[in-house]
Amino acid sequence: MATKKALPILFAIMFLVMVGFGIIIPVMPFYAEELGASPTQLGLLMAVYSFMQLLFAPMWGRISDKIGRKPVIMIGILGLALSFFLMAWATELWMLFAARIIGGLLSSANMPTVMAYVADITSEEDRGKGMGIIGASVGLGFIFGPAIGGIFSEASLHIPFYLAGGSSLITFFFVMFVLKESLTAEQKAKGKLTKRAPLLQAFKGSVSILFLLQLFVSLSLAGLEATFAYFAYEKANLGTVQLGYIFMIMGLAGAVVQGGLVGKLTKKHGEGFVIQLGIAISALGFLLILFIDSFTTAAIFLTVFGIGNGFIRPSVSSLLTKKVKTGHGTTTGLLSSFDSLGRIIGPPLGGILFTFSIGLPYIAGIILSALAFILYRIYIVQASKAGIHANS
């Protein structure tokens, strides 16, 4: 049985995974363009990865409940490495699509299984802290990965993909030799015996509202990510280098919040308080973004949003793994699916709103934040009627 000592190992694993993933982000548009991709095809190339995660994250979470976390994490990381190398070797556009499909299918095992591992090894009191640490590792990986990819892409567009594949292989062997399994043989046997509609069991009652809340949060974030570069250029004439610094500042602030504050606040006040605080701060961030007029205001206002968003996902994950009686992997897999759905719908929706008015995606973010807040209040009422303590 693994212990809390595994948390630093999980932090390192997800950091390395997200560095590898982040390395290809600044390169992918230019690489796909070299292979003849149109803007629409580039959008589809990005969306197909999230679509595969939408479909398969619950499956991998469920499998991890049956056979253990470690082998599923290894499958996910090896799949990621394979997809990176296939992209590096691609000579035609269809090969790039095939690599993204394979990568999305297999790497969708990573996040839900790691979160389930955290739920396995933490007490309910420390669950929020554990989820926050994983969130911080993801955020930091996304900061360093794109920077590395941008630097090495100057020599060749192929090199970042080889670097990402190599990083993933190193992570695979790190998991193989260092990470211990978190489930006992008894827990695996129990997972194998659960045969009746585990996903439907997870998505029922008052907790189903928490999945929908995560969908709204993911929708608003994806809409911002898809349009902010254009918005910042129109409002403050900010270029790509300045935007890189702004997102780096936001990412660092979010990582600090998730790695430190989330655990302390959930332990003192419960996940419910932190979720509501995060939603309120996110809504304030969306409002402030409408008024950016310089690099400084853009950095500050986007960071306000990033801090709010950083509170939400770890706290929702923590609360769900406490409340849902199915396996942790099934629960976190379904949550990842809702997150992916938001990332599929959010960018085109944000783009459509932006064409009508450049401020609409952020007004929509305020509305979605308000709806998420209302959903949580509804969850509290329903949980109270069912005799469940809602906030922690």
In this prediction, residues 258-281 reach a mean pLDDT of 92
- Give 356: exposed, middle or buried? Use CB within 10 Å, 0-12, 13-18, 19+: exposed
Shared domain check, 53 and 11: yes
Q: What was the pLDDT predicted at 182?
A: 87
Residue 63: inside a domain: yes
Note whether 327 and 116 are within 8 A (CB).
yes
Residue 49: inside a domain: yes
The pTM assigned to this predicted structure is 0.86
Examine the pLDDT at 3 and tell me if it is beyond 70: no
Shared domain check, 236 and 378: yes
Shared domain check, 15 and 148: yes
In the block, tokens 């020599």 appear at 155
In this prediction, residues 25-45 reach a mean pLDDT of 84
Examine the pLDDT at 101 and tell me if it is beyond 90: yes
Residue 53: inside a domain: yes
Q: Which of 87-101, 181-195, 254-268 has the lowest mean pLDDT?
A: 181-195
Residue 359: inside a domain: yes
Given 143, 177, 211, which residue is the final one in a domain?
A: 177
Helix (H, G, I), strand (E, B) or coil at 92: coil
Counting the structural domains of the chain, the total is 2
The full DSSP string for 15-47 is HHHHHHHHHTTTTHHHHHHHTT--HHHHHHHHH
Examine the pLDDT at 392 and tell me if it is beyond 60: no
Q: What was the pLDDT predicted at 199?
A: 58
Mean pLDDT computed over every residue of the chain: 88
Q: What was the pLDDT predicted at 40?
A: 79
CATH code of the domain covering residue 375: 1.20.1250.20
pLDDT by residue (tens digit) across 12-25? 999 999 898 888 88
Shared domain check, 325 and 368: yes
Residue 170: inside a domain: yes
**Rounded-to-integer distance, Cα 212 and Cα 271, Å:** 16
**Rounded-to-integer distance, Cα 132 and Cα 182, Å:** 19
Shared domain check, 161 and 214: no
**Rounded-to-integer distance, Cα 94 and Cα 293, Å:** 42
* CA 133, 340, 241, 288 torsion-angle sign: negative
Note whether 7 and 127 are within 8 A (CB).
no
pLDDT by residue (tens digit) across 56-72? 999 999 899 889 999 99
Shared domain check, 376 and 238: yes
Note whether 23 and 116 are within 8 A (CB).
no
Given 177, 211, 238, which residue is the final one in a domain?
A: 177
In this prediction, residues 267-278 reach a mean pLDDT of 93
Residue 193: inside a domain: no
pLDDT by residue (tens digit) across 133-154? 999 998 898 888 888 888 888 8
Residue 132 structural domain: 1-177
Given 130, 145, 177, which residue is the final one in a domain?
A: 177
Shared domain check, 301 and 162: no
Shared domain check, 226 and 131: no
Q: Which of 39-43, 259-263, 311-315 has the lowest mean pLDDT?
A: 39-43
Shared domain check, 379 and 286: yes
Residue 194: inside a domain: no
Shared domain check, 104 and 1: yes
Q: What was the pLDDT predicted at 150?
A: 80
Q: How confident is the model at residue 202 (pLDDT cuts 50, 70, 90)?
A: low
| 96: amino acid identity, one letter | L
Shared domain check, 203 and 173: no
Q: What was the pLDDT predicted at 152?
A: 86
User: Between 197 and 345, whose confidence is greater?
Assistant: 345
Shared domain check, 350 and 256: yes
Residue 96: inside a domain: yes
What is the 3 state secondary structure string of 334-378? HHHHHHHHHHHHHHHHHHHHHHHCCCHHHHHHHHHHHHHHHHHHH
**Rounded-to-integer distance, Cα 252 and Cα 134, Å:** 14
Q: How confident is the model at residue 192 (pLDDT cuts 50, 70, 90)?
A: low
Q: What was the pLDDT predicted at 331?
A: 87
Q: Measuring CA to CA, which residue among 261, 257, 311, 256 is closest to residue 283? A: 311
